[in-house]
A and B are shown apart, each in its own frame.
Chain A
């Protein structure tokens, strides 16, 4: 049986939006990665170029065969798929999600 595991990821919030990086060992080409957006949730599925053995503390060190990474990330904003920019470089997926620029309304103080 082949399993999927969760990759390591980091989320940075900037004044313009969010930058997410995901570490994807055994992924060598962007075509191995699928990315989906729904409301405020991002889902990444990446298929490795081969099946590999992996063990975790939680699994009492039992080695399992894995061939996919799967990760769901929720953000506090609704994601506009048109404005999401994703690049894959040196085994890292970098996703940039801009914050929607809300028009500011000036309030007069009486």
Chain B
């Protein structure tokens, strides 16, 4: 059964029924591709299958192909417990607002229990850092208390920009608890080390074991294969940030 739902310039195509109360993880391309690397690690380790995908007239006309079959590049994967939203292609700055609204409305409709975004924050001193630090942000006071209880330091002050920032706010409007896990990251380069730190924080938040050893062992391969996506994601991200905050 395929269900097509139309939102703000973005269609969500569901490949199978999606049960309520799943935990949604957003790992779309952003700084250091921390969310993308984390998402694909979880998808692989937990043998997740695509359950839905996003399509938009304003997305670049790109399809990935595996074994002769097209694969939707911006897809939702699930193992029956988690719902992971990620993309193999960069998200154009022009679609960020509408895509965020689509994701928020769709997650509301699917009655997810809560949402976690995984991101990087750029730091020039990343070269000197062996193990990137992680901070957390929530869209509620209760969420901040949960972050503290789980041993994730809340971000005290700052500005957030991008899909995850928009999502935190839109999900608050829809009474859905949301968190962002943000790891220190290279500004432009794909950063598997930052993704490993983010996944450690995610494992604390979700009380689940996530093996990051394989991710660190494949770091060179990830850095090489995601270099173009990372460069484009950084460029798109800069276009979404007003110049006074760059």
A contacts, CB < 8 Å to B: 7-8, 10, 12, 21, 23, 25-26, 52, 54-58, 61, 89-92, 94
**Taking A8-B231, A10-B187, A10-B188 as contacts, is the C-beta distance between A91 and B223 under 8 angstroms?**
yes
Overall SS of chain A's interface = loop
B66 to chain A, nearest CB (A): 10
In contact, A8 and B124 (Cβ under 8 angstroms): no
Q: Is the CB of A25 within 8 A of B223?
A: yes
Given A8-B188, A12-B124, A92-B127, answer yes or no on A25-B220 (Cβ-Cβ < 8 Å): yes
Sample of 14 A–B contacts (CB below 8 Å): A8-B188, A8-B189, A8-B230, A10-B187, A21-B127, A23-B186, A23-B227, A25-B221, A54-B224, A55-B225, A58-B228, A90-B127, A91-B223, A94-B127
Chain A residues with CB below 8 A from B231, complex form: 8
Give the docked Cα–Cα distance between A69 and B154 (Å): 40
B65 close to A61 (CB less than 8 A):
yes
Please tell me if B175 contacts chain A, counting CB pairs below 8 Å: no
CA A6 to CA B219, docked complex, whole Å: 18
Question: CB of B62 within 8 A of chain A?
Answer: yes
Give Cα distance in the complex from A92 to B190, angstroms.
Answer: 12
CB-CB under 8 A from B187, the residues of chain A are 10
* In contact, A61 and B64 (Cβ under 8 angstroms): yes
Contact of A91 among B65, B220, B227 (CB under 8 A): B220
Q: Say yes or no: A7 contacts B225, CB within 8 Å.
A: no
Chain B interface (Cβ < 8 Å from any Cβ of A): 62, 64-65, 124, 127, 186-189, 219-221, 223-225, 227-228, 230-231
A-B contact count (CB 8 A): 40
A53 to chain B, nearest CB (A): 9
Instruction: Please measure, in the bound complex, the distance between the C-alpha atom of A21 and the C-alpha atom of B62, giving whole angstroms.
Output: 30
**Other than the known A21-B127, A94-B127, what 5 A-B pairs have Cβ atoms closer than 8 Å?**
A8-B189, A12-B124, A23-B227, A25-B223, A55-B225
Q: How far is B189's CA from A53's CA once the two chains are assembled, in angstroms?
A: 19
Contact, CB under 8 Å: B227 / A57: no
CB distance from B218 to the nearest CB of A (A): 10
**What is the CB-to-nearest-CB distance from B226 to chain A, in angstroms, rounded to a whole number?**
10
Chain B residues with CB under 8 Å of A21's CB are 127
Chain B residues near A25: list those with CB within 8 A: 219-221, 223-224
Let me know if A56 and B228 touch, CB within 8 A: yes
Contact (Cβ within 8 A) B62 A57: yes
Set of chain A residues within 8 Å of B124, measured between Cβ atoms: 12
Residues A54 and B188 in contact, CB atoms below 8 Å apart: no
- Most B C-beta atoms less than 10 A away, residue of A7, A57, A61, A89: A57
The minimal Cβ–Cβ distance linking A95 to chain B, given in whole angstroms, is 12
- Residue of chain A at shortest CB distance from B231: A8
B127 touches A23 (CB 8 A): no
Report the minimum CB–CB distance from A60 to chain B (whole Å): 9
**In the A-B complex, the 5 residue pairs with the closest CB atoms:** A25-B223, A25-B220, A23-B189, A25-B224, A26-B220
List chain B residues, Cβ under 8 A from A52.
221, 224
Q: Tell me the bound Cα distance from A59 to B37 in angstroms.
A: 22
